[in-house]
Amino acid sequence: MALEYPDNLQYLDTHEYARLDEDEEIVTVGLSAFAIDQLGDIVFLELPEVGDTVEKGEKFGTIESVKAVEDLKSPISGEVLSRNDILLGEPEQIADDPYGDGWLLKIKPDDLEDLDDAMSAEDYRDQVEGM
């Protein structure tokens, strides 16, 4: 199965993605299909509380699989408006739809320029397919 990297997203080299809703100026953060594929069966997820702040490039949570525990890094600084509580109880569901129902956080960004150094889908695809 070929992994997808939607063109409307921006990606970090740590495999998180950011989707900007320009109408509301909200950034949805999730984990790429590549990262989920590499992790295997997800067994635990830790996310910040609504109202917490996250910092660009800093750890905001962890994801644990049967293979590894990985830190989740924020692509942008801002306030957590919502988190995907369904995944906290059923973390394996992140693999079903990583770019839709498998989102992790919705963030009100401090500065949208934080996303300027994120990769396009094409650049991210080139990076991960070269691994």
- Output the pLDDT for position 129: 87
Measured in whole angstroms, the distance separating CA 2 from the mean position of its chain's CA atoms is 19
- Which runs of E-coded beta strand occur in 32-125? 42-46, 53-54, 59-65, 69-73, 78-83, 105-109
- Output the pLDDT for position 2: 65
- Report the C-alpha gap between 56 and 77 in whole angstroms: 5
What digits encode the pLDDT tens for the residues 44-76? 999 999 999 999 999 999 999 999 999 999 999
pTM over 0.75: yes
Secondary structure letter of residue 97 according to DSSP: -
Could you say which residues of the chain have pLDDT below 70? 1-2
State the number of CA atoms in the 13 A half-sphere of 4 facing the CB.
10
- Output the pLDDT for position 34: 95
- Is domain 11-129 classified as CATH 3.40.50.10860? no
